[in-house]
Amino acid sequence: MSYVNNLRMFVRVCDLGSMSAAARDQRTSPAVASARISDLEKHLGVRLFNRTTRSLQTTEQGRLFYDGACKVLEAITEAEAGISGGARNPRGTISLSAPLGIGRRLIAPEVPGFHDLYPQVDLRMRLSDRPVDLVTEGIDIAFHLGRLEDSTLKMRQIAECPRLLCAAPAYIARRGMPEDGEALLRDQHDCLILRYPGAREFRWTLQSPEGPRQYAVSGPFDSDDGDVLTQWALDGRGIVLKPLFDIAADLRAGRLVPVAKASPPQPVQLSALSQHRRLKDPKLSLFSDFITARIRETIRRESEDLPL
């Protein structure tokens, strides 16, 4: 398997553009990563990378070899799935990515149950509210809330997630209850904004008498962590726009209350994204089916009997 491991390391170095990043991705040291690349170069009799102390560039031979190496690794994955029973006895590793709130409340609680059913499958989970690149970050399945921008990815729609504008009773007592989106702007309400490079949530799309309208809301606080926004809302610092499942417990307990009911936000689509070339991997299909059923049930359950 040493040659196969060398191929895997080569592909990850190409994807990530860094020997140390590829080493972290493959859970080994930079020295081991460098040795694997050197072994591969010695075997092929060509230089795959031009290395300096500050940069690493793929050579022309390396670029040509990359596509073939990817095909070899995909073929090995399919062959291993076939002899291991595929869907009956999957094995290997699944790398997952999800926004913080979705990962913590919808996905992480279900991961151990999947491992109990398929103990030879390891799961690596990364949580972040920033956008991720499935290829360069080695992600098999990325959960995404909102519109899909990259058409090169395969999208599986999981559920439509209702959303809500809400605030703590303390904020309402201090600033008043906004009735609609116009009041958010007119009365200069403090809106808690999810903001990261490329994010658009600082323009909330709300229903108006003329149809959906974008409101350029503002406030003294913003963050790239949705859970931080929820905590600020609970502390009475402003109004937050959140998926219903994310704040259901706080709504039931009265810690948050709906606001601007005349201008409800539009639902947002929760999807699972994957690379087309990974779709033949049985363990990914199994996990996708498993997690989709459980997320739909959780969203349905959390939406019941809410004080809206």
Rounded to a whole number, what is the largest CA-CA distance in the chain?
74
Q: String of b and e for 213-251 (b: at least 16 CB within 10 Å)?
A: eebebebeebbebbbbbbebbbebbbbbbbbbbbbbebb
261 with 170, same domain: the answer is yes
Q: How far is C-alpha 96 from the chain's CA centre?
A: 7
The residue segments making up the domain with residue 101 are 92-161+269-302
Of 75, 70, 97, 72, whose CA–CA distance to 13 is shortest?
70
| CA pseudo-torsion sign 14, 15, 17, 23 | negative
What average pLDDT does the chain have? 87
155 with 274, same domain: the answer is yes
- Both structure tokens of 19: 């020997």
Mean pLDDT of all residues in 283-291: 92
149 with 182, same domain: the answer is no
- Greater model confidence, 138 or 256: 256
Would you place residue 233 in the very low, low, confident or very high pLDDT band (cuts 50, 70, 90)? very high
170 with 251, same domain: the answer is yes
**pTM to 2 decimal places:** 0.71
Residue-wise pLDDT for 74-90, tens only, equals 777 767 666 655 566 78
193 with 259, same domain: the answer is yes
- Greater model confidence, 300 or 55: 300
Rounded (5°) CA angle 140-142-4: 15
Residue 52, domain CATH: 1.10.10.10
Q: State the pLDDT at residue 292.
A: 95
Per-residue pLDDT at 28 exceeds 90: no
Coil, strand or helix at 222: strand
Residue-wise pLDDT for 144-199, tens only, equals 988 776 567 888 999 999 999 999 999 999 999 999 999 999 999 999 998 765 55
- Greater model confidence, 93 or 74: 93
Between β-strands 92-98 and 121-127, what pairing exists: parallel, antiparallel or unpaired? parallel
Residue-wise pLDDT for 121-136, tens only, equals 999 999 887 778 887 7
Q: State the pLDDT at residue 13.
A: 87
With respect to residue 38, please indicate whether it lies within any of the assigned structural domains.
yes
> CA 258 to CA 240: how far, in whole Å?
10
- Give one DSSP letter per residue of 59-127, joined into a string: -HHHHHHHHHHHHHHHHHHHHHHHHTTTTSS--EEEEEEE-HHHIIIIIGGGHHHHHHH-TTEEEEEEE
With respect to residue 307, please indicate whether it lies within any of the assigned structural domains.
no
- The DSSP secondary-structure symbol of 197 reads T
Number of domains within the chain: 3
127 with 8, same domain: the answer is no
With respect to residue 190, please indicate whether it lies within any of the assigned structural domains.
yes
Q: How far is CA 204 from CA 212, 213, 251, in A?
A: 10, 8, 21
Q: Rounded to the nearest 10 degrees, how much is the dihedral formed by the CA atoms of 203, 274, 72, 290?
A: 150
With respect to residue 308, please indicate whether it lies within any of the assigned structural domains.
no
When mean pLDDT is compared over 84-98, 102-116, 271-285, the highest value belongs to 102-116
> CA 264 to CA 209: how far, in whole Å?
11
Of the three residues 60, 83, 106, the one that is the final residue of a domain is 83
Which range among 18-27, 80-89, 94-103 shows the weakest confidence by mean pLDDT?
Answer: 80-89
Q: State the pLDDT at residue 147.
A: 76
Q: How far is CA 122 from CA 87, 107, 155, 271, 275, in A?
A: 15, 15, 23, 22, 19
Q: How far is C-alpha 247 from the chain's CA centre?
A: 19
155 with 211, same domain: the answer is no
With respect to residue 189, please indicate whether it lies within any of the assigned structural domains.
yes
Q: For the chain, how many residues are written?
A: 308
With respect to residue 19, please indicate whether it lies within any of the assigned structural domains.
yes
Q: State the pLDDT at residue 8.
A: 87
Contacts of 30 (CB under 8 A, 6+ apart): 19, 20, 23
Q: State the pLDDT at residue 125.
A: 92
152 with 168, same domain: the answer is no
103 with 252, same domain: the answer is no
Q: State the pLDDT at residue 68.
A: 87
76 with 7, same domain: the answer is yes
Q: State the pLDDT at residue 256.
A: 97
Q: State the pLDDT at residue 116.
A: 94
Radius of gyration (C-alpha) of the chain in whole angstroms? 23
Q: State the pLDDT at residue 131.
A: 77
147 with 273, same domain: the answer is yes
Residue 218, domain CATH: 3.40.190.10
- The DSSP secondary-structure symbol of 162 reads -
Of the three residues 61, 83, 105, the one that is the final residue of a domain is 83
297 with 252, same domain: the answer is no
Of the three residues 48, 83, 118, the one that is the final residue of a domain is 83
